Amino acid sequence: MKFYTKFKKAKILFLAFLFIVSCSKDDPDAVNEQEFISNVLMTIESADGTSQTVDWDLSEMNSQTISLKVNTDHNVGIRFINSSDPTDVEEVTLEIIDEADEHQVFFEFADVSVNVTSASNDTKVGSRGVLLNSVWNASSTGTGLVRVYLIHQPTNFNATTREGFGGYNDVSIDIPVSIVE
């Protein structure tokens, strides 16, 4: 009878332990939702003072073209905007700067040759520029496209191709480029 009583008490304690453990509330890991971006705003300024702004709305057809001069440095600034609520436009770029270690801007050119480097005023993570501010220099005239990526959680920040970066796209858009004398 003593064995049965001890077994019954142990069983009750074990069930109470399971109940307490299963009911405890651990704080879940914070979920960092993907930023909503409605517009990509690019400012292109050349050394001669020429300036161009491209406001690319991701929800509609766009007809803007980036114009560059051959063999000329162009300072390119890029911003990401959420204007889904016109009464509360959000500058998503600030979030990207806060989480710079989880983001990379990447430019991929087709049919034109453009060298891109990080600008001195670019957001840096260590020695790596995020490319929110960059310098573009085209080596020859022509027309083509630039595919603009905002990559979230890249796995290789030293990559030279989109596939090499890993992660996933917060933004991927194609903008026509025209390079003139």
Could you give the domains of the chain? Answer: 39-180 (2.60.40)
pTM (2 d.p.): 0.80
- Cα 124 from Cα 88, distance rounded (Å): 28
Q: Summarize pLDDT for 27-67 with one digit per residue, the tens.
A: 444 444 667 999 999 999 998 899 999 999 998 889 999 99
Contacts of 34 (CB under 8 A, 6+ apart): 152, 170
Q: Summarize pLDDT for 104-130 with one digit per residue, the tens.
A: 999 999 999 999 999 999 999 999 999
pLDDT at 23 over 80: no
pLDDT at 176: 98
Written as six digits, the tokens of 162 are 């989109």
Percent of the chain with pLDDT over 90: 76
- Cα 159 from Cα 165, distance rounded (Å): 5
Q: Are 45 and 51 in contact (CB under 8 A)?
A: yes
